[in-house]
Structure 1
Amino acid sequence: MKIGTILRSPLLHFFVLGGLVFGLYAVTAPLEARAPRDDVLHLSEAEMNRMADGFLAAWGRAPTEAESRGLVRDWAIEEVMVREALALGLDKGDAMIRNRLRAKMEFLAEAPAAAMTPDDATLEAYYSENAAAYARPAQVSFAQVLLPGDATAEEVAALRAELEQGADPAGLGQATMLPPRLEAMATPAVERVFGGGFGAAVAGLPVSGWSGPLSSGYGQHLVRLDAVEAAQLPPLERLRDKVIADWRSAEARKMRGAFTDELLSRYTLDLPGEEAAEQP
């Protein structure tokens, strides 16, 4: 390759420019802005074992001697790159790095909760306080007929009379893909099918006999409630593992909040154009 071609190479220009940037920073940055240098790369036994375990998990075997040297080299490259980036202040003003550091601090605050086990009294109290989250919703069995959009009061009354006399609801009313009968369906599921409020309205009807019209997302319905089973709270033992996991999550949130408040109490918030606040 000719020397002129080499000198015109964009890659060469990149390396030269990069070297100038690094050199200029080393000369012009104030001493207090430069991170103290530590030229020793100390690979701990724990870190070495972590790398070996990662290789084993990925490849299903232990690394060879050459592969082990490669793992160590990759670790050393990452370590020196991170150190040099920090020395240049490249972590400053980077939203991704800041978010990652925040997440790590929050993890440190919450970590003890994962090993906590509540006693029976504590778990019972938590279960009672959050019963609504664990209760099985009411279930309803009902039949329905979707009324034509232009049905008159007389036509609705005539249709109701047919239903009361035992007519099959599947053959009456407006043609629709909605099922004419639903068995033991949870009220939230009914509302997902028919629209908000319909399940609760059905559960509030008298059992047996045709009622309505009731409004849904599809229009007006005549409805016969055949059975309703009230919401029930299962015994704690049936959901014990889930409740413990939820309790730990709640404790972790409390720990994070307390940790955050304690950290904020160490600082004064200085806002532009305002007096400094003692605590953010």
Structure 2
Amino acid sequence: MSILKEPLFHFFLLGVAIFGWFSYLNPSQSEPASGDQIVVDMQDINRLIDQFQSTWQRPPTPQELEELQEAFLRQEVLVREARALGLDWGDSIIRSRLAQKMEFLTLSLAQASEPDDATLQAHLAENSARFLRPERVAFQQVAMGPSPDAERINEVLDALNGGADPALFAGPSMLPNALPLSSPQKVDATMGRGFHAALIEMPEGQWVGPVPSGFGYHLVWIESREPAHLPAFDDIREEVLFDWRSNLKSDLSEAQFDTLKEKYDLITPSPEDITRRLNQ
């Protein structure tokens, strides 16, 4: 995305694309002949119909459209009167909403961008760690209770490794007797934090333990492991596309703010003033 660092690109993109996109989403109305005039034109009607159809998957009936138009007029009258009274001034909710709408312009532009596969594959190569699938492990476990003695543990281990049925030794527990291939997060969510870390060095195909958990002690049989890996591009294309757009949105948002900020002479308290205030 080196092109995003070019100032000319900022001005073109932000001046044309972002505000052009806003104009497309919100077609401007002609100025009223007087401050007391409210005009509802066909652009407004079309927008009301489109919004209704987007929600209900059908066009509105004449009566529904009349109600939509009446609601639009009611809102417009109340908004104008609120502005006339200055109710919008200094309102943190309104300020936050306006800032969100400006951010939405950038988000809409990023969401509308359709990169080719070469661009996405390059993004995947540059950010492969984000898409890496963690190692997974499948295992069985036998709960030995909160304080089993060493002799009992050795006795059960010998029996299990001799081919005994694990169900013969399982104590009362709400934990599953086995987990299929599972990520470290799932293992720890099921067995308690740190349980997966204790399995990392354990051999496969052998009963070992005891392994502590928040539920007591366990004997464990590692059935199989799947190493960490990067999936094929075709399998995660949508995930890569989402991440690429998120990056683009972040870059465009910063570019938008930096460009718009240049329009203003920013005056802020000095660090000394801030320090004095914090020390009061």
TM-score by length of 1: 0.74
Q: Which residue of 1 aligns with 2:121?
A: 124
Q: Find the aligned partners of 2:248 and 2:163 in 1 and give their Cα distance.
A: 57
- Residues 1:178 and 1:167: Cα distance change in structure 2 (over 3 Å): same
Q: Which residue of 2 aligns with 1:12?
A: none
Residue 251 of structure 1: how far off its partner (Å): 0.8
2:161–2:206 contact (8 Å) kept in structure 1 = yes
Q: Which residue of 2 aligns with 1:113?
A: 110
1:90 is aligned to 2:87? yes
SS of residue matched to 1:207: coil
Q: Find the aligned partners of 2:77 and 2:101 in 1 and give their Cα distance.
A: 22
Deviations 1:120-165 (A, max 9, x none): 3331122133334333332222221222322222222222112221
What is the identity, as a one-letter code, of the residue corresponding to 1:92?
A: W
Q: Find the aligned partners of 1:49 and 1:85 in 2 and give their Cα distance.
A: 26
Q: Which has the higher contact order (CA 8 A, sep 6+)?
A: 2
Q: Which residue of 2 aligns with 1:270?
A: 268
- Residues 1:93 and 1:234: Cα distance change in structure 2 (over 3 Å): same
Q: Which residue of 1 aligns with 2:141?
A: 144
Indicate the RMSD between aligned Cα atoms, in angstroms: 2.7
Which of 209, 218, 223 is 1:212 aligned to? 209
Q: Find the aligned partners of 1:60 and 1:141 in 2 and give their Cα distance.
A: 50
Q: Find the aligned partners of 1:58 and 1:210 in 2 and give their Cα distance.
A: 59
Q: Find the aligned partners of 1:43 and 1:107 in 2 and give their Cα distance.
A: 26
The structure having more radius of gyration, on CA atoms, is 1
SS of residue matched to 1:225: strand
What is the identity, as a one-letter code, of the residue corresponding to 2:238?
A: D
For structure 2, the residue ranges without an aligned partner over 5 or more in a row are 1-33, 275-280
The equivalences for 1:112-191 within 5 A come to 112-191=109-188
What is the identity, as a one-letter code, of the residue corresponding to 1:178?
A: L
2:49–2:59 contact (8 Å) kept in structure 1 = no
Residue 49 of structure 1: how far off its partner (Å): 0.9
SS of residue matched to 1:146: strand
